[in-house]
Structure 1
Amino acid sequence: MKISKNTLSILKNFRDLNSNILISKGSLLKTLTPAKNVMSSATVTESFPVEFGLWDLTSFLGTVSLFEDPDFNFKDKYVDIVGSNGSTVKYFYSEPSLLTVPTKDVKMPESVVSIELTEEAFSELKKAAAVLNLSDLSICSTDGSSIVAILSDIKNNTSNTYSIDIGYNESGNVFNFDFKIDNLRIIPGNYDVSFAEKIVSQFSNKNLDLNYWIALESSSSFTSTVGSNIGVS
């Protein structure tokens, strides 16, 4: 079988979340950070014929990059990666018990805030965070009208900040959802983002069947003024 470029891109992204992975039989890929504060799942076009573990995703992806468009012949204990000229790598699987894997699916609590985060806006924020050496991102509406993304160092009251407007809060509710920038390792794209009250967020890619569940920091807050979900336009 072949593995598409899209699926390899997802595996490269999952490598940034966790260096190992257990791939189940079928089309659903899942990963979990060692700290268990970020989980991701993706449904891909391929259907893997066996369950197999990869201890070092960097090594596996590097091996795949040796070939232009290889075939993958999955066996019980290893996969043969075969190039167009017949060159072959026998790549052995890892013992599943050694891997950090999700043991259950995330049951997203009821959403209290929903926004759209564009690829352009997120790229701007990531670049600014790197240039200004800022570790925290806050999605907030402190005036009950505009929704702003603010970069800062929450532990430093005199840190530099960087902010952009990302939407309008029609409900008037007040909220502040905090993330560590290092936890926002998502594939570039446009996302629908929903927030459960002070617990967890869900980033859903608009073009791929790809979701991330990212824990909110304990400094997050939400105050409802109307007792209903927020709509953002």
Structure 2
Amino acid sequence: MSTHIGAEKGEIADRILLPGDPLRAKFIAENFLESPRQFNNIRGMLGYTGLYRGARVSVMGTGMGMPSISLYAYELIRYYDVKKLIRIGTAGALNEKVHIRDLILAQGAATTSRIIQKDWPNLDFPPIADFNLLYKAYQIASERKCQVHVGNVLSVDLLHSDFIQENLKLGQYGVLAVEMETAALYYLGAKLGVETLAILTVSDSLVSQETTSAEERQTSFLEMMSVGFEAIISE
């Protein structure tokens, strides 16, 4: 048992999907896993382990923002020996080629956060995905004919800020979308030597003002969940 996760050693699989919303974790467990068992409810951050196509997989919420995902991902890796972590979450499009409900595989993550910079004050450490997970996810998404984009995202500390125009300019530089967790997850993956990936569904657009409902974000976006499961069990 760690400080923020109530599981005993062995109750969490060595591969895990990480939605931000704990209720999305519950939905995923109930709809994708065989015989799911809840291993965590501390602070309402629900976590479950079960079988997906015969493979043991866990799913747990991480909350919103880089400090929150860093806390849970660190404890999962250090105290529960998790080796593969895939964030499955939502993002806001910054690029006119990206539309709501499209999938994004985050190849790298620019960030406004100082979480990485505090460790490396004299250089810009590039947070990037594990290539094997990225490649597998791209193959799976392509085979399923998903509308999928691969490229950079922007991870921010503040969702509501005065920097919308600057963010949109990054979209003109090819940055696909803005979200709040990926850079920190990728940095922990590099620091602790595990495989990490973010698979994102575009829930709204800062370019076109398209949007989706809160219920849709919680209980749909099934392509992202399915691609995540298939990628994480692929050897």
The TM-score with structure 2 as length reference comes to 0.29
Larger relative contact order (CA 8 Å, sep ≥ 6): 2
- Of structures 1 and 2, the larger Rg is shown by 1
Structure showing the higher helix proportion among its residues = 2
The TM-score with structure 1 as length reference comes to 0.29
